Amino acid sequence: MKTRLIIAAVAVAMCAACEQPTVNYEVEGAALLAPFKKNLKTALVKGMEDGPVEAISACSIEAPSIAAGLSVDGVVMGRSSHRLRNHENATPDWLEPVLRGYADGSSDLSPMAMAIEDDRMGYAEPIMMQPMCLACHGEELQPDLAAKINESYPDDRATGFKVGDFRGVFWVEFPER
């Protein structure tokens, strides 16, 4: 009887040791988004060197290209907002309640990971207004910039923000492991 108990205890211990470690999907989501955020910031800073009017292309052309280049092997990423400028940045369905919670204050502004569907995970990270963002998203825009934004985005809703305001989200979808 003692031998059977010892064998059973060893078998249970071995099975516990064989279990796969728990995946921290927040860490994984943040790691997947890091290059997108870094490359986008580099493009924006470079664009701003030529002035805010020229920096618009960093958001309208370079950001989607950066996201597409990093969206490989079942990973898809982007950015969205409750107040869109570019409708091509529309919110994926799974992200709608997260974005709404961030925007209306019913969720704290912490990054979050969640199971979405078909063995996939979603991760969202708030974008908070920084001083450099005010040139294009603040309360007062330079006339030439305002004209360019109005020409490019006649339905723009992405102005009127202050430093520290919630601006939108970076998001990523990826396969669950």
- Domain ranges, ordered by start, for the chain: 23-175
Contact (Cβ atoms closer than 8 angstroms) between residue 95 and residue 171: yes
pLDDT in tens, 67-81: 999 999 999 999 999
Amino acid 13: pLDDT: 47
Identity of residue 21: P
pLDDT in tens, 19-32: 556 889 999 999 99
pLDDT in tens, 116-143: 988 999 999 999 999 999 999 999 999 9
- pTM equals 0.85
Structure-model confidence comparison of residues 103 and 21, the more confident one:
103
- What mean pLDDT comes out for the span 33-50? 94
Q: Cβ neighbours of residue 21 under 8 Å, at least 6 residues apart? A: none
Amino acid 1: pLDDT: 54
pLDDT at residue 5 is higher than 50: no
Amino acid 144: pLDDT: 94
Contact (Cβ atoms closer than 8 angstroms) between residue 161 and residue 134: yes
Q: Are strands 76-80 and 120-128 parallel, antiparallel or unpaired?
A: unpaired
* Cβ atoms within 10 Å, residue 58: 21
Amino acid 170: pLDDT: 98
CA 72 to CA 79: how far, in whole Å?
16
Cα angle 99-103-109, degrees, rounded to a multiple of 5:
80
Burial class (CB in 10 A: 0-12, 13-18, 19+), 72: exposed
Contact (Cβ atoms closer than 8 angstroms) between residue 77 and residue 34: no
Backbone φ and ψ of 108, nearest 5°: -70, 160
